[in-house]
Each structure stands twice: as structure tokens, then as C-alpha cells.
Amino acid sequence: MMGRKEGLKRLLTSKAKTLELEIEQYLGLIDQSALLLEEAIKKYLNDRFEEFEKKSAEVKETERQADELRRQITHRLYAEMLIPDSRGDVLGLLETTDNLADVAKRVANHFSTEKPEIYPFLKDDFRELTEISIKAVHELTLAVRAFFRDVYRVTEHLDKVHFWEHEADEVEDRLKRKAFEAPDIREFSKRVHMRYFAERISLLADEAEAVAERLAISAIKRNL
């Protein structure tokens, strides 16, 4: 009888370890999709359009892998009855975190499809906005990792998500003001195009903050 109990315990421990590794892999893919988008946009801003398209394709493939892995983790949580007390919170976090990879894919696709003319005096602002938005995503994935490992560290990463989201808002606003005030841009439609792409990139930071707010509630529940 003891042998059967020990065997069951080892089996459950093994399944939990597999789940932990899959979640880590999933968060790695979320990070990767954001970093690939950053590289893609930098290629675009440097007029290296062929290289941009390659990176854009990698963003799309990484998002597909993340989505597939998320479904696999969801199935495992239900089929193997793992972490029943926290299953709802974990599923909610995974689904909302998946939005980050989806936004990265859509931003890359928008650039690829619409091919906006980024004016030289706005390129540094677009670079800065991209870098800051990716920092927000990175801090968010660190916060999610902390939720599973060291829940007491969640808050420090969430604070950084909020910081970078605020910074992204400021750069976005500055960029849009430049676009609408600059005499170099004569057509109103092109001013609007600059605003649109600034908002698309900044959406990454917005989504990171949205997940952060959900994560903060989940972390409080775990500490009760």
C-alpha cells in the first residue's frame, strides 16, 4: 500500500514539474515575440526591409508556438487535475499574457502590410517607444514567473510594469505631438498614420499593464 502511495506521489510531482517547465517555456515565447518585434521595427526604421520581413515572420511563428503551448497547458491543467485551487487564476493569466504575443504579431503585420513612411525626425522616438514597451513586457513575464516561484517578488516587477507603461504613454504623446505639429508632414493622413503606429506599439505596454492588474489580484489571493 505504501508503495502505491509513494508511486502516486512521484507521479503527481513529475506532472507538476512538467507543467512548471511548460509554463516557463511559454513565458519564454512571450518574451521572444516581443524581442523579435523590437528587432523587426529597428530593421524597418533602418530601411532594411527584407530583414524586417524575416523578423516579422519569426514574430508570427513565435506567436503560433505560444498559442499552441498555451492550449497544451490548459488541457494538462484539466486532464491531470493539477493545482485545482489556483487553476482559474493560472488559466486567466495565461490567456491574458497570450494577448502580448498576439499584439506583437499584429504590430509586425501592420508594418508589413501598410509600410508606413516613418519620417527621419520621428525615428528616434519610434525606437524609444518600442524599447520601452518591450521593457514593460519583460517585467510582466518576470512578474508571472515570480507568481509561481517567489510570490513575494511579484509586486516589485509589477511596479516596473506600471513605470514603463507610464513612460511609454509619455513617449507616445510626444511622438504624436511632433507628428501633428511638424511642418515637414504636409498631408493630414500621414500625420494620422504616425499616430496610429505609435498607438499600436504602445499597446504592448498597455496590454502588459492590463495583465499586471490581473496578476496583482491573483497574488493577493495566494497570500491570503
Residue 86 confidence (pLDDT): 64
CA dihedral (167, 170, 172, 175) in degrees, to 10, reads -130
Note the maximum CA span of the chain: 82
Return d(Cα 83, Cα 170) in angstroms, integer: 40
Q: What is the pLDDT of residues 162-175, one digit of tens each?
A: 999 999 999 999 99
Contacts of 100 (CB under 8 A, 6+ apart): 30, 33, 34, 137, 140, 204, 207, 208, 211
Percent of the chain with pLDDT over 90: 71
Position 13 confidence tier, pLDDT thresholds 50, 70, 90: low
Q: What is the pLDDT of residues 179-216, one digit of tens each?
A: 999 998 999 999 999 999 999 999 999 999 999 999 99
Position 151 confidence tier, pLDDT thresholds 50, 70, 90: confident
In single-letter form, the type of residue at position 14 comes to S
SS3 61: helix
Angle at 41 between CA 35 and CA 45, to 5 degrees: 145
Cell of 111: 508594418
Residue 168 confidence (pLDDT): 98
Q: What is the pLDDT of residues 46-104, one digit of tens each?
A: 999 999 999 999 999 999 999 999 999 888 877 765 555 566 777 888 889 999 999 99
Domain boundaries, the chain: 2-223
Least confident of 11-15, 24-28, 30-34: 11-15
Q: Reduced to 3 DSSP states, what percent helix, strand and coil does the chain have, rounded to the nearest 5? A: 90, 0, 10
pLDDT at 9 over 90: no
- Report DSSP state, residue 10: H
Residue 7 confidence (pLDDT): 38
Q: Which fold has domain 2-223?
A: Methane Monooxygenase Hydroxylase; Chain G, domain 1 (1.20.58)
**Do 96 and 217 form a contact (C-beta atoms < 8 A)?**
no
Q: What is the pLDDT of residues 109-133, one digit of tens each?
A: 999 999 999 999 999 999 999 999 9
Cell of 14: 513529475
Return d(Cα 21, Cα 14) in angstroms, integer: 11
pLDDT at 8 over 70: no
* Closest by Cα among 166, 158, 168 to 93: 158
